[in-house]
Chain A
């Protein structure tokens, strides 16, 4: 490690959650006066790494050196006092206090034992002047736009910490003009010698502001490069992975093309959500969906399942029009959807494995026709065996299972409804390698049985392994469809980068 020039260096950081290794020996170093972009898809370990650095999580292994000295922050407060400040996408300030109170909460200037408001407001004004912000500091924070609040949050963090500034998706809700303002400030802080970690999923902004890029994938370090030496294409390949198995791809590419077209989406879309697209899905076919975070992958799934109502186009199955206006009607049309964040959208942690599996089937039958206990038991046992869900018994609360087994239980929930059309959003996210392979085998066997699947994944090797076709998304639109021999990791990376270049040009 270049201990001499780096202000913050982390070596071999491990973080283990039940059922998943969130960080696996990750190295990261931050120079004085540099903007270092931290990139990776959802679940790659970016936020886990940041939380380890800021003391929000305790790391399970590795060292963190700040200014050459070992540090082990136990809380965000301690990290702040050590010199590591963080600004989150959701502004972490208090909207009901004035701007000045927010800046000086807990360290208000005092006079005769009482807070000296005039002095506090004067100092707040002076502090914000450094950021070219001339606003009424006695007004409530809530009166200002998110961009201004963001700058105030940065001012507070820098004033409190002053060595390392972590910006976690600060631009997500800002417009182009506001981003430019924010970047002016970031450049000035950089000149002052701060080390800045910048997390975002906007690649243009990465190239605009960062000096170096570190990419994480599946909790592992993919690499750290100088931004100038890393073409966009290579960056995307780093983020999505391309340790490809070409022969597997070719073999599977030929598969499933023989079946007749079963589902037909025409001009299907929703304004502001996903641009209208056409899509045919054959019987027994897996259609992969690829694209970077925020490209409209999940939006595509949501609109097909009725979680967001389409405002244009038609969907039909075997020539019959489908009603996909709500998840309930989609379930009635024999659609199934395993969402991306199973902790939030999928499992109900305190219910047993059996109850979680029976849930979707019960929803389709309606509350008036309950599934008998013996039938639920039979169903649960059947799928626990069929999918090899590892649990001591079917009455165990599902939250006690590992990530991979939870994922299989959700899959079982939808398989129990015997769907014709199944959408899987990141089915292998956050589960260990062994479970990965099992899920992939499961996907293949499902499609052999004649089910049609849409699989969204940021693991390109996986997509290539089981998809007969791959739809490529960018900026909330379907921009390419790869068929047959085109379905390779290289091909997908090429398609994403090509369309990226075209849009930017």
Chain B
């Protein structure tokens, strides 16, 4: 088998085995309800993780997305509370702001040749600070349009529901896969992750691609913020602290190389589902502390880092013998 599919295969295998173990212990977990909830509960994380996958594939990192999600939530809540504009207009405004914010970070990273870690760390503080400036309280959103959106779902056989936000996440993943593998932008993202100096020599527009990547991540963080505000019906500046780290974990567990250049968007979806599955198991059990989620995620991350390191060694050795 092509070695680059190995991490993805491992992720899928782990998910299937974990799900089988869960079902063996709690047969109720084999239901479309559980699957529907898995999608709904992790929708905002999944959407943000798609953006993070692009960033990591290019060899970068985006630490700002948790703060951007919180900012978007507070922005929407304040706007809908203080004015009478339609939520759809507010959505467009929020997306415009977060996309511009991401593009700005990308421009700084490219033109000032700054490490993405530092630039997006600054972006994280800035976005979180802006959220606090808007409001320090948790503001409920009571617009009727929100209720309409929340009640929209597709009913699965067996009583499960694909909610609007769950379906949106699946759509974002599908579009992400299309962009990554079927557009020149996607090819350029992988090229950048393979080595920026070589990519430049081969004619990849480095600046345009870098700005595009962070703008996409900003856009998806904004979309994730909208989904999160639909999910919680509120905006709160202290929400989604550390979500960027959950997203990074999902990307790595999904088999994407942290150094960039290798991985799949689809893997991130499975990474998200594994995280959600562990959470669901703990809920079903009822007696376990929810911190077990973190512990298991931590162990999984270690396992995947080791797997990646091992793979690099194996391919290197194979090439030397070729």
Write the nearest CB–CB distance from A432 to chain B, whole angstroms.
31
Choice from A93, A97, A142 contacting B315 with Cβ under 8 Å: A142
CA distance A122 to B194 in the complex (A): 24
A77–B184 CB distance below 8 A = no
Asked whether A97 and B190 contact (CB < 8 A) given A105-B204, A114-B182, A144-B319, the answer is yes
Render A91-120 as a binary contact track against B, CB cut-off 8 A, 1 for contact: 011111100011001101000001101000
Interface size on A, residues (CB 8 A): 23
Asked whether A145 and B194 contact (CB < 8 A) given A114-B183, A115-B184, A139-B2, the answer is no
Q: What number of residue pairs across chains A and B have CB atoms under 8 A from each other?
A: 71
Write the nearest CB–CB distance from A108 to chain B, whole angstroms.
6
A94–B203 CB distance below 8 A = no
CA distance A101 to B198 in the complex (A): 14
B319–A142 CB distance below 8 A = yes
B204–A106 CB distance below 8 A = yes
User: Which residues of chain B in 255-276 are interfacial with respect to chain A, using CB atoms and an 8 Å cutoff?
Assistant: 261-262
A214 within 8 A of B: no
**CB-defined contacts of A106 to chain B, threshold 8 Å:** 184, 187-188, 202-204
B199 within 8 A of A: yes
Choice from A76, A97, A115, A143 contacting B183 with Cβ under 8 Å: A115
A72 within 8 A of B: no
CA distance A105 to B262 in the complex (A): 16
A115–B187 CB distance below 8 A = yes
B195 within 8 A of A: yes
B149 within 8 A of A: no
User: Which residues of chain B in 201-221 are interfacial with respect to chain A, using CB atoms and an 8 Å cutoff?
Assistant: 201-204
A80 within 8 A of B: yes
**CB-defined contacts of B194 to chain A, threshold 8 Å:** 94-97
Render B164-197 as a binary contact track against A, CB cut-off 8 A, 1 for contact: 0000000000000010011110111011011100
A140 within 8 A of B: yes
Asked whether A94 and B4 contact (CB < 8 A) given A108-B184, A115-B183, A143-B319, the answer is no
Asked whether A94 and B184 contact (CB < 8 A) given A76-B201, A139-B2, A143-B319, the answer is no
**CB-defined contacts of B111 to chain A, threshold 8 Å:** none
A105–B202 CB distance below 8 A = yes
Write the nearest CB–CB distance from B134 to chain A, whole angstroms.
39
B322 within 8 A of A: yes
**CB-defined contacts of B199 to chain A, threshold 8 Å:** 94
A145–B322 CB distance below 8 A = yes
> What residues make up the interface of A, taking CB atoms closer than 8 Å to B?
76-77, 80, 92-97, 101-102, 105-106, 108, 114-115, 117, 139-140, 142-145
Extra 11 A-B pairs, beta carbons < 8 Å, given A77-B201, A92-B201, A115-B183: A92-B198, A94-B190, A94-B198, A96-B194, A97-B194, A105-B188, A105-B202, A106-B184, A106-B188, A106-B203, A108-B187
Smallest CB-CB A-B distances: 8 pairs = A94-B194, A96-B261, A114-B182, A96-B194, A106-B203, A145-B322, A115-B182, A96-B262
